[in-house]
A and B are shown apart, each in its own frame.
Chain A
Amino acid sequence: MSWKPVLESAGLDAWIVRMFASIDERNVSWLSALARRCEEAFGDALVDLVPSYTTLLVVFDPLNVSPSQARAIICETLAGLEPEETAHEGEVHELPTWYDISVGPELQRVAEGAGMAVSEVVEAHSQRTYKVFALGFAPGFAFMGLVDPRLECARLDTPRKRVPAGSVALAGLQTAAYPTETPGGWNLLGRTSARLFDREREGFSLLRVGDRVRFVPVSREVFEREGGNTTPLEPIT
């Protein structure tokens, strides 16, 4: 690591550990290692750990440890830290995805921006294996990257009030799939039949930080058979 980690106060019960200056796939193995060691070091005093692209938020119980004690614990865990391959490193989640204008209306926009045919956009998007950098925005919403730079596309000027669950989307150099229906301003390319967030499933979220993901193009028939919702998108209102 060329960058020295920095601890910043995030209030009475939290520290932000700033590990890196920029986004990189390799950050994940360091952040996972730090998270694991914090779990061991804090024990019952740990409330939550929120990893993101370059940081780990460590939330602790201030009845149990003071902010300065927590800081000391984190500094200890940072000493001699080694990157850790995540448990899911070998596994690639394959998300069956129906790429179609009716459920992915921005296929056209992205194609025009890239000077490519729609079929080439689908190919470029589905060819890569993405890394999950962060979860947030909504339960199970995974920010993944990085996409083929030719597909880079700004968010919509006016976000949609309702983006259907399963929508596969693109913003900047990142891609994601919407676990539930929410408002959203990302470019929609298609829809996956995968259930991304399920409160009945152990672990709840299909995807975790550090996981690898591929979008696998499927036909409408396969998508429907897998339980996908083919309802066309409403126009932006």
Chain B
Amino acid sequence: MTQHNSPEADIRVLRAGPLALLQDSGRFGVRHLGVTQGGPADIYSWAWANHLTGNPWGTANLEVTFGGLKLIAVRDLEIAITGADLGATIEHKPVALWQRTRWKAGDTLTFAAPVSGLRAYLAVCGGFAAEPVLGSVACVTREELGGFEGNGAKLATGDELSVNRSGSGQQLANAPTEAPKNVLPDFSQPAVLDLLPGAQIASFTGRSLFDAFNTWWQVDDRADRMGVRLIGPRLNCKINTLISEGISLGSIQVPPDGQPIVLLNDRQTIGGYPRLGALSPLSASRLAQCLPREPVRLIARGSDAVLKEHRRFRAVFHSESV
């Protein structure tokens, strides 16, 4: 339990819900050891939660999937909730998303259930305190790495969480209190995902390539932080299996059953199925907000345009840190 090494708890977990995980930007430089990347499934929303609380890029915040989480503040905290609308309330009053909020000592913060989107991000000014494992606190349950305990454990009822105290006043002074309207994603709209073609795309049949980009795919129930399976027409590749090779974030692999799987943050580091290519990082984030049975569409994009969008997204979070 966290309380052994935290002198003071700042937040208590009254009810853990199905899945709440501590996530920094991810675990890097160790993938050659078979250690996956982890980090926020929706890096866009995660980044904004930190930004609104004045936390620099990389600060750990909480990824809340589905809802069901109930927390109580031990001291006054400045927080921001971004990403999915999971019906968050403080003392039964709805919390405005994508803006900074004061969470007073003794008040309960509750995430109910998905209204739109799947994963919400809760950032606190100063960031959650945890010891990095292999250079990161990113919580990967399958690998038993990261999180508040270092052992990959998701939040449990009764956990006590600590928040870093350094320089909170000053860091808030320079941070925006709410995200501009034009950056807010609309998770109620069907997702259109940017695919950078690559890998074995030339080995798929012409019919399958047509289908890949002209189908409203349906998100399967089999969707988690490792990958999201898409249901639709069967895609046929002239190659069945490959010699296993490294797989990057957003890669779309097609196993012999012809139903594509988009690989997300907790994917295995190597794999042996043919691939169409990879989603852009922002499209992988968008997909991570899709609930089972939601429709998604793939569009082929060139890397120049996608790179421009990606750099524009990241520029927001680096201007204030210098």
Interface residues of A (CB under 8 A from B): 8-14, 16, 18, 22-23, 35, 47-57, 59, 62-63, 66-68, 134-141, 143, 180, 182, 197, 199, 204-205, 208-209
Task: Return the contact of A9 from the options B33, B134, B277, B314 (Cβ within 8 A).
Answer: B277
Q: Which among B145, B196, B271 is the interface contact of A11 at CB below 8 angstroms?
A: B196
- For B306, the chain A residues whose CB sits under 8 A away are 12
Report Cα–Cα, A58/B251, bound state, in Å: 14
Q: Which residues of A contact B245 (CB under 8 A)?
A: 16, 18, 50, 52-55, 57
Tell whether, in the assembled complex, residue A50 and residue B270 are in contact, meaning their CB atoms are under 8 Å apart.
Answer: yes
Q: Interface code B256-274, partner A: CB below 8 Å = 1, 0 otherwise?
A: 0000000000001111000
Task: Please indicate the chain A residues that have their CB under 8 angstroms from the CB of B197 in the complex.
Answer: 9
Chain A to chain B contacts (Cβ below 8 Å), 12 pairs: A9-B197, A9-B198, A11-B248, A13-B249, A47-B28, A51-B32, A63-B310, A68-B303, A136-B268, A140-B33, A199-B150, A209-B32
- Partner among A12, A50, A63 whose Cβ is within 8 Å of the Cβ of B269: A50
Q: Which 5 residue pairs across A and B have the least CB separation, nearest first?
A: A57-B246, A50-B246, A11-B278, A9-B198, A136-B270
Known A8-B198, A11-B250, A63-B314: A50·B32 in contact at CB below 8 Å: yes
State whether A12 and B244 are in contact (beta carbons under 8 Å apart), knowing that A50-B270, A205-B34 are contacts in the complex: no
Partner of B270, one of A12, A134, A139: A134
For residue B309, give the distance in angstroms from its CB to the closest CB of chain A: 10
Chain A residues with CB under 8 Å of B270's CB are: 50, 52, 134-137
Whether B303 lies near A50 (C-beta < 8 A) is no
A166 to chain B, nearest CB (A): 15
Task: Considering the complex, give the chain A residue whose CB is closest to the CB of B311.
Answer: A63
The answer to whether B31 touches A48 (Cβ under 8 A) is yes
Chain B contact patch, size range: 35 or more
Smallest beta-carbon distance B107→chain A, Å: 37
Number of A-B contacts (CB under 8 A): 146
In whole Å, how far is A5's beta carbon from the nearest beta carbon of chain B? 13
Q: How many Å lie between the Cα of A9 and that of B199 in the bound state? A: 6
**B143 on the interface (CB 8 Å rule)?**
yes
Cβ contacts B275-319/A at 8 Å (1 or 0 each): 001111100000000000000000000011011001100100000
The reply on B30 being an interface residue by CB < 8 A is yes
Q: How distant is the Cα of A18 from the Cα of B303 in the complex, in angstroms? A: 20
Q: For A63, what are the chain B residues with a Cβ–Cβ distance below 8 Å?
A: 310-311, 314
* CB-contacts of B193-250 with A (<8 A): 196-199, 243-250
Closest residue on chain A to residue B309 by CB atoms? A12
Starting from the known contacts A50-B245, A136-B269, A199-B145, 20 additional A-B residue pairs (CB-CB under 8 Å) come to A9-B196, A9-B199, A10-B247, A48-B31, A49-B32, A50-B32, A51-B246, A52-B243, A134-B270, A136-B268, A136-B270, A137-B268, A137-B270, A138-B34, A139-B143, A180-B144, A199-B133, A204-B30, A204-B134, A205-B34
Is B29 positioned at the interface, with any CB of A under 8 Å from its CB? yes
Interface hub of B31, B34, B35, B37 (most chain A Cβ within 10 A): B34
Complex alpha-carbon distance, A63 and B280, angstroms: 14
Given A62-B311, A136-B244, A139-B35, also A67-B303 (CB < 8 A): yes
A22–B277 CA distance with the chains assembled, in angstroms: 22
Task: List B contacts of A50 (CB < 8 A).
Answer: 31-32, 245-246, 269-270
User: In this complex, what residue of B is CB-closest to A11?
Assistant: B278
A103 CB, min distance to chain B CBs, angstroms: 22
> In the complex, which of the residues A11, A52, A136 has the most CB atoms of chain B within 10 Å of its own CB atom?
A11
Check if B33 sits within 8 Å of A11, measured CB to CB: no
Min CB gap A161→B, angstroms: 13
> Smallest CB-CB separation from A47: which chain B residue?
B28
Q: Please determine whether A10 and B33 come into contact, CB atoms closer than 8 angstroms.
A: no
**When the two chains form their complex, are residues B32 and A135 in contact, meaning their CB atoms are under 8 A apart?**
yes
